[in-house]
A and B are shown apart, each in its own frame.
Chain A
Amino acid sequence: MSTAIAFDNFQLVYDKLTVSYVSGSVKKIVLKEFSFKVERGKFIAIVGPSGCGKSTLLNATAKFIKEDSGTILLDGQAIKKSSLDIGFVFQNYALFDWLTVEENIGFGLKFTNLTKSEKKVTVEKLLRDIGLIEQRKYYPAELSGGMQQRVALARSIAPKPKVLLLDEPFAALDTDTKIKMRELLLQLWRVHGTTILFVTHDLEEALFLADRVVIIQGVDGIAGTIDVSFPRPREFSIVYTTEFRGLVENIANKFRTLKQSTGP
């Protein structure tokens, strides 16, 4: 390869990634020669107008869909298949209805070479972290939306993925639950040190959570990145500071110009 990429700090490298999808007989390019690097352990929030390819980016990273060309490198190795290295959290939780809370969390551990007791300890610890130790024997259908998403979070983090991808995970939850879930996510992230790519359409959420907010705009690629330097651990009250409001305003303005250039 002629273009030498420095992998040292970069866990995830997108190199000229092009992804399209076919609907009917029409082929639509969603991402075109998208290049981007993510440092190890960073929390990246991805925002952009709907249909801009943010979910496509995550789906391609997890190898749920195939790219047309380009590569995605994880620790310098091209990602070939879905694996335990890359965890995923969906907006609709996607829990396994037929398994209990603890079985859901332990699902991915079946495919690791942890011993039985190590698996048990991992599940036990996560159950405590997400505050559902009492509900361990419940089925997903017996839980509220917020609880289900907590289980999904724990399930994705249990096999210790190197990268965790979250696709609008809290969009379906009410405001109070959302705020609690953000804090829980940050807490889990602090403990596990996973690199996170978090797709959202909520700018406030993006700025509250992330080290860096990336605005993407489909075929035109990255329309801007904002480094967020609020100290951690972050309290929810920071969203009321003038500095925070200023940043939200800033991105919202960028957004407006984007939306004008890309249609409705």
Chain B
Amino acid sequence: MKTKIIYIAKTIAPFVFFICMWLVAISFSKINRALLPAPQDVFFALKEFVASRTLIPDISSSLFRAIAGFAIGGSLGLACGSLTARIPFLNWLISPIFNGLRALPPVSIVPLVIVWAGMGESGKIFITSWAAFFPVWLNTHDGITSVDKNIIWAARSLGAKNMHLLFDVILPSAIPRIVIGFRLAVSTTLVCVIVAEMTGATVGLGYRLELAYLVFRVDRMIACLLVLAIIGISADRLFARFSSIIFPWIALRHELK
């Protein structure tokens, strides 16, 4: 119990320190509060979001777009990564193209997607899927192609072949890399959902941010960013916790190395 309190205190302390410094900076300088609002201004902006009943719809629609993209792009990435890693012909045919597309910042495809898919939901989910796809594809591909050959040999000498070899041995041994791919995808989808929303939406945190920018409300902009940061950190923590529950052996290997 006591250690838990200490742990929580240690986690919160840096943020408290940051807010204190912020307060100090505000009270001892002559910066225009419209440009740099005080912490309490941001808090009031947040309260406004809650009062106007926009916060929850904003968060939920942004999260929906991010999660949908993560699921679609992630599963396609996993499937394509397995295929390009295992089938040399597909690797030769497709990987160079994927690598070319991967080199583009996902943000840069937004105008094109708007032209092709309009401002609707499908275009946004396309962008977040795009963002999730590449890290998962690349890490799955690399994870599978770099499996220790002794592991494969060991499995073969124990009677595994074809599908068993792929699903019982090769994919599981690539899991640590695949998990890294998905973890990267969590953050890239969150980035891209905001970008997609900033360029045309009627709801969502990116839209709220853009709206605050248009009316020059820095306090609201920072409030949006605060919410985003909290979502980003929680998503990453949640993912790490979740993956260590399903794959407890990954962390073991890393601790001992």
Contacts and interface: CB of A to CB of B under 8 A. Distances in A.
Contacts, number: 80
Instruction: Tell me the interface secondary structure of chain A in the complex.
Output: loop
Interface residues of B, number: 25
A83 B248 CA distance: 31
Nearest to B159: A111
Contacts of B200: none
A98 B175 contact: yes
Interface in B152-182: 153-161, 164, 168-169, 172-173, 175
Given A88-B157, A96-B154, A97-B173, 17 more contacts: A62-B153, A64-B157, A84-B157, A94-B148, A96-B169, A96-B172, A98-B175, A98-B249, A107-B158, A107-B160, A107-B168, A108-B159, A110-B164, A111-B160, A141-B252, A141-B253, A142-B252
B248 A139 contact: yes
Size category of the A interface is 20 to 34
B56 interface: no
Most chain A C-beta atoms within 10 Å of own C-beta, residue among B148, B154, B173, B252: B154
Contact of B154 (A81, A84, A94): A94
A96 B173 contact: yes
B148 A155 contact: no
A141 B249 contact: yes
A122 to B, nearest CB: 13
Contacts of A139: 248-249, 252
A156 interface: yes
A87 B157 contact: yes
A82 interface: yes
A140 B151 CA distance: 13
Nearest to A155: B158
A36 interface: no
Interface of B: 148, 150-151, 153-161, 164, 168-169, 172-173, 175, 247-249, 252-253, 255-256
Going nearest first, the 9 A-B pairs with the smallest beta carbon separation are A111-B159, A108-B158, A141-B252, A82-B156, A94-B150, A88-B157, A94-B154, A139-B249, A84-B159
Contacts of B256: 141-142
Contacts of B247: 98
B166 to A, nearest CB: 14
28 contacts: A62-B153, A64-B153, A81-B161, A83-B157, A83-B159, A84-B157, A86-B157, A87-B157, A88-B154, A92-B148, A92-B150, A94-B148, A94-B151, A96-B173, A97-B249, A97-B253, A98-B173, A98-B175, A98-B247, A98-B249, A107-B168, A108-B159, A110-B164, A111-B160, A111-B164, A112-B159, A140-B249, A156-B157
Contacts of B159: 83-84, 108, 110-112, 159
Contacts of B153: 59, 62, 64, 82, 88, 90, 94
Contacts of A112: 159
